[in-house]
Amino acid sequence: MNNVNLNEDQQDCLQEIINVAMGQASDQLARYLDTFVYLKVPSIEQVSAQHLSDTLKYEAQSVAVVSQGFFGYEGIRGEALLMYQPKDSDRLADLLGYEPDELSVEEQIIDLSSILTTTFLNVFASQIDNQMSYSAPRLLFSSNADNNTSSQSSISEHIQHNSFNWDTALKVKISYQVTDYSFNCDMILLIPESAIINITSVIDRILEEY
């Protein structure tokens, strides 16, 4: 793994920027679902390609996974994965409050993912004086079928097919927990090696103000 580790101050600064973005995204989610979202402290870790692959296999024990790329100025970019783990997928349709046949469950999941990802990343970007563009959200896997093996390979292949160098990645995991519905959604941001260096430069500029 190349040496792009964040030092303690850089990690703290990034975590605080993520906290603010997470708070606003959770507020959007709470309004969308008309419920309360319980927040945990987000985790940030640097992972190697092998660890990333193993992690994604583990994380893919989900009902649905939506992926959306993001691209900002100054070489800041990455991939956001939204992983849904409700107890059963039918419940998700009820939770989202659409009429039967109004939208497919898959379309509803993509809608929700897009709101969460863009709200989070727009707030994240505004704090670092940046602006994000997004690729179309893509449903990698939806679990009407019980096929975890195919979901794992689908995510891994998707990540590998991106033009990023994933030898090393910064992995940010944020858990949104809607307690009264037993509904969990994890947002995983994967930031490739080259973008970590660019984010570090931006963070250093912010830290200079303190």
| DSSP codes joined into one string, 90-137 | HHHHHHHTPPTTTS-HHHHHHHHHHHHHHHHHHHHHHHTT---EEPPP
Which of 21, 65 has the CB closer to other proteins? 21
List contacts with other proteins (CB under 8 A): 9, 12-13, 15-16, 19-24, 26-27, 30, 36-37, 39-41, 127, 207, 210
Which of 122, 151 has the CB closer to other proteins? 122
Report in angstroms how near the CB of residue 85 gets to other proteins at its nearest.
21
Report in angstroms how near the CB of residue 59 gets to other proteins at its nearest.
22
Report in angstroms how near the CB of residue 207 gets to other proteins at its nearest.
8
Mapped onto helix, strand or coil, the DSSP state of residue 22 is helix
Mapped onto helix, strand or coil, the DSSP state of residue 40 is coil
Report in angstroms how near the CB of residue 27 gets to other proteins at its nearest.
5
**Cβ neighbours of residue 126 closer than 8 Å, sequence gap 6 or more:** none
Report in angstroms how near the CB of residue 135 gets to other proteins at its nearest.
27
**Cβ neighbours of residue 154 closer than 8 Å, sequence gap 6 or more:** 65, 140, 141
Which of 95, 140 has the CB closer to other proteins? 95
Which of 58, 210 has the CB closer to other proteins? 210
Give the gyration radius of the chain's Cα atoms. 17
Which of 12, 106 has the CB closer to other proteins? 12
